């Protein structure tokens, strides 16, 4: 027993060393798979032309009278994320009540709801977009549906956590005065959770605008479509202006949404 | 007996007035507010309808027989995964995890100095913190797949481009979360060290890092979870990993094989999520 006193103080140190060495080995093993084949043959030239393109963005592309320009692409991206968030903000409400432990008597009900939400959450939206493209054809509508369904996973989880945290006083008061289940929901639960719901929907909107920029890479509309064309034709000045447009759009949306969220809560 | 809401409040979905309130003053003071709420909802509905028209949202087409048949055919294949395909995609699956590990580690290591530069209690000069934060915010506006698409064009198709994309993405995320954690640490030890004449390096090594380290590791693990999911789709733009196979199988309409890939990815992601959540709970 006496010997265990000094060794127990040294034990965490040894454990940390082992964990550290394991991590380094893991990292080295991972890095060994990244084959760096140089910047290909005309590397310096390619780099120079990329630099040239990024420092001289294609300003003419911002607005073209005949369409297919930057502003219209960004507008479509914005619309996809607005509609996707809108759809999921309503679709996720039943899921949220399903998954909240204080809304059902049995643990199994809320547990199964939470599991379904986890599965939806880890299902990548890009794959969701491809499935919807098969259903409704390529275009912005497929992107809207993909975002709408994918966002349910996260939004319903946040919503259900809000529902689980509601103050029980009003609920009990309504139940004891003989209110029906629906009336309890409408007058005791909803007034408490709606501001938080709107705030989370806005937060999800910020995430969705980023997702909507990449949906185009698989053909689901938005600014990703022209970006893919510009990348494959090595039109670096156009890539530069599109990335600039994405950065500006996302920054503006973040600012507006952050301001709204501070006002709501 | 619940208080009956007035039709206006029921219409705009505002919370009902408390039952004990006198009716006369509330109507006067709530008139303009009600109008404002009604106007907000109207404007919101107009925006949604206009957006719906712009993207040709056609729910009739979505639920039409033709598209339902398409979906049904895919679903039919998806629920019957081709398990014999598992062995052939395992190397790509391992590569996906490797991309995530390498990207997370490099990005997180790069994030440390920048996080220190962004935190006002370590770097009190605004002339340093504000530009550093602006750079961080700009990096975080670009999604990982866009980074990957650009890096594939520069460095060629392969895992290296994917790793670089995740390096940038993890860098932005870890640096932001960490500098916020650094700003929230207990200032007591820092003040004691400054008073006893410690220099900046000593302050960081003995005052900041011991307090911020558990948070940093927790954020790195969280970023790793996000990165595994991201790495699974990086292949769609040619940046290595399992996504490349998934893209090929989807394009050749082998949905049974695609289903195998999706299920395997789900398993890997769930296992890593649970392990990482467990470790994070032990850390904090």
The residue that leads in pLDDT, B136 or B67, is B136
CA atoms within a 13 Å half-sphere pointing along the CA-CB vector of B250: 23
Least confident of A100-104, B90-94, B112-116, B140-144: A100-104
Question: What percent of chain B stands above pLDDT 90?
Answer: 30
Q: What is the DSSP letter of B45?
A: H
The residue that leads in pLDDT, B32 or B75, is B75
What ipTM is given for this predicted complex?
0.79
A194/A91 same-domain check: yes
Q: Determine the average pLDDT of the residues in B21-49.
A: 72
A8/A102 same-domain check: no
A188/A256 same-domain check: yes
- pLDDT value of position B75: 82
Chain B hits for A247, CB-CB cut-off 8 Å, are 138, 141-142
* pLDDT, tens digit, 9 for 90 and up, residues A167-181: 888 888 988 998 888
Q: b/e for B49-58, b at 16 or more Cβ within 10 A? A: eebbebbebe
Least confident of A228-237, B54-63, B175-184: B54-63
Residue A45 lies in a domain: no
Is the CB of residue A72 less than 8 Å from the CB of residue B47? no
Domain boundaries, chain B: 7-57, 86-283
The beta-carbon neighbor of B155 closest among A39, A76, A126 is A39
Is the CB of residue A230 less than 8 Å from the CB of residue A244? no
Alpha carbon of B48 to those of A89, A192, B55, B201: distances in Å? 13, 25, 11, 54
Residue A43 lies in a domain: no
Cβ of B233 and A124 within 8 Å?
yes
A22/A124 same-domain check: no
CA atoms within a 13 Å half-sphere pointing along the CA-CB vector of B31: 5
* pLDDT, tens digit, 9 for 90 and up, residues B79-98: 888 888 888 899 999 999 99
- pLDDT value of position B29: 54
Least confident of B67-71, B173-177, B252-256: B67-71
- pLDDT value of position A2: 45
Least confident of A36-45, A230-239, B151-160, B231-240: A36-45
Q: What are the residue ranges of helices labelled H in B55-158?
A: 59-62, 65-78, 86-118, 126-141, 144-155
- Give B51's contacts (C-beta < 8 A, 6+ positions apart): A79, A82, A83
Q: How many CB pairs under 8 A join A and B?
A: 161
* pLDDT, tens digit, 9 for 90 and up, residues B122-178: 888 889 999 999 999 889 988 888 889 888 888 888 899 999 999 999 999 999 999
The residue that leads in pLDDT, B96 or A122, is B96
B55 touches chain A (CB under 8 A): yes
A22/A109 same-domain check: no
Given a cut of 60, whether residue B77 has pLDDT beyond it is yes
B 143-162 near A (Cβ less than 8 A)? 143, 145-146, 149-150, 152-156, 158-160
Number of domains in chain A: 2
Given a cut of 90, whether residue B223 has pLDDT beyond it is yes
Cβ of A217 and B145 within 8 Å?
yes
A6/A114 same-domain check: no
Question: What Rg, from alpha-carbon coordinates, does chain A have?
Answer: 25
- Structural domain of A23: 1-36
- How would residue B57 be classed by pLDDT, with cut points 50, 70 and 90? confident
A25/A126 same-domain check: no
Domain B86-283 sits in CATH at: 1.10.3720.10
Chain A hits for B54, CB-CB cut-off 8 Å, are 75-76, 79, 140
Question: What percent of chain A stands above pLDDT 70?
Answer: 93
- pLDDT value of position B78: 82
Q: To the nearest whole number, what is the mean pLDDT of chain A?
A: 85
Q: Which long-range contacts (CB under 8 A, 24 or more apart) does A38-41 make?
A: A39/B154, A39/B155, A40/B155, A40/B156
Cβ of B232 and A26 within 8 Å?
no
- How would residue A37 be classed by pLDDT, with cut points 50, 70 and 90? low
Cβ of A33 and B95 within 8 Å?
yes
Is the CB of residue A249 less than 8 Å from the CB of residue A82? no
The beta-carbon neighbor of A83 closest among B51, B138, B142 is B51
B202 touches chain A (CB under 8 A): no
Q: Determine the average pLDDT of the residues in A200-224.
A: 90
CA A263, chain centre distance (Å): 23
A137/A242 same-domain check: yes
A254/A185 same-domain check: yes
User: Which of B51, B247, B283 to substitute to test the interface with A, most A CBs within 10 Å?
Assistant: B51
Give CA–CA dist A120/A129, Å, rounded: 13
Residue A128 lies in a domain: yes
Give CA–CA dist B217/A16, Å, rounded: 13
Cβ of B97 and A179 within 8 Å?
no
Q: Determine the average pLDDT of the residues in B14-34.
A: 51
């Amino acid at each position: 027993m006496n010997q265990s006193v000094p060794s127990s103080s040294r034990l965490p140190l040894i454990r940390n060393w082992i964990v550290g060495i394991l991590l380094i080995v893991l990292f080295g093993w991972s890095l060994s798979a990244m084959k760096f084949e140089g910047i290909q043959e005309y590397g310096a030239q390619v780099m120079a032309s990329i630099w040239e393109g990024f420092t001289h963005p294609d300003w003419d592309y911002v607005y073209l009278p005949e369409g297919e320009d930057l502003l219209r692409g960004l507008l479509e991206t914005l619309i996809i994320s607005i509609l996707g968030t809108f759809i999921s903000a309503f679709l996720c409400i039943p899921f949220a009540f399903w998954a909240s432990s204080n809304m059902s008597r049995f643990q199994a009900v809320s547990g199964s709801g939470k599991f379904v939400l986890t599965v939806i959450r880890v299902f990548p939206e890009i794959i969701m977009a491809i499935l919807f493209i098969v259903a409704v054809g390529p275009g912005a509508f497929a992107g809207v549906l993909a975002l709408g369904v994918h966002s349910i996973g996260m939004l319903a989880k946040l919503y259900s956590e809000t529902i689980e945290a509601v103050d029980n006083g009003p609920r009990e008061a309504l139940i004891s005065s003989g209110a029906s289940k629906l009336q309890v929901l409408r007058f005791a639960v909803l007034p408490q959770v709606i501001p938080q719901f709107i705030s989370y929907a806005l937060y999800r909107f910020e995430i969705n605008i980023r997702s909507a920029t990449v949906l185009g890479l698989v053909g689901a509309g938005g600014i990703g479509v022209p970006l893919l064309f510009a990348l494959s034709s090595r039109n670096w000045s156009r890539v530069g202006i599109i990335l600039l447009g994405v950065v500006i759009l996302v920054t503006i949306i973040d600012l507006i949404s952050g301001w709204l969220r501070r006002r709501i809560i | 007996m619940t208080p009956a809401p007035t039709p206006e409040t029921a219409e705009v979905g505002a919370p009902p007035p408390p039952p004990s309130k006198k009716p006369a003053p509330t109507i006067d003071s709530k008139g303009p507010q009600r109008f404002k709420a009604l106007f907000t909802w109207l404007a919101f509905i107009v925006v949604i309808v206009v957006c719906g028209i712009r993207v040709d949202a056609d729910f009739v087409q979505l639920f039409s027989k033709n598209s339902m048949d398409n979906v049904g055919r895919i679903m039919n294949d998806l629920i019957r995964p081709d398990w014999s395909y598992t062995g052939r995609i395992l190397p790509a699956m391992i590569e996906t995890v490797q991309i995530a590990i390498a990207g997370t580690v490099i990005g997180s290591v790069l994030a440390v100095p920048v996080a220190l530069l962004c935190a006002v209690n370590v770097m009190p000069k605004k002339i340093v913190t504000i530009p550093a934060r602006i750079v961080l915010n700009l990096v975080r506006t670009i999604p990982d797949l866009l980074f990957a698409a650009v890096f594939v064009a520069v460095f060629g198709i392969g895992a290296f481009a994917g790793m670089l994309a995740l390096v940038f993405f993890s860098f932005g995320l870890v640096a932001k979360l960490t500098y916020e954690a650094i700003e929230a640490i207990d200032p007591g030890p820092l003040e004691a060290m400054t008073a006893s004449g410690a220099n900046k390096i000593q302050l960081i090594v003995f005052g900041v890092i011991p307090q911020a380290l558990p948070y940093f590791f927790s954020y790195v693990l969280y970023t790793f979870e996000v990165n595994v999911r991201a790495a699974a789709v990086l292949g769609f733009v040619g940046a290595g990993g399992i996504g490349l196979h998934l893209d090929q199988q989807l394009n050749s309409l082998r949905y049974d094989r695609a289903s195998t890939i999706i299920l395997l990815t789900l398993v890997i992601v769930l296992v890593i999520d649970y392990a990482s959540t467990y470790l994070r709970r032990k850390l904090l």
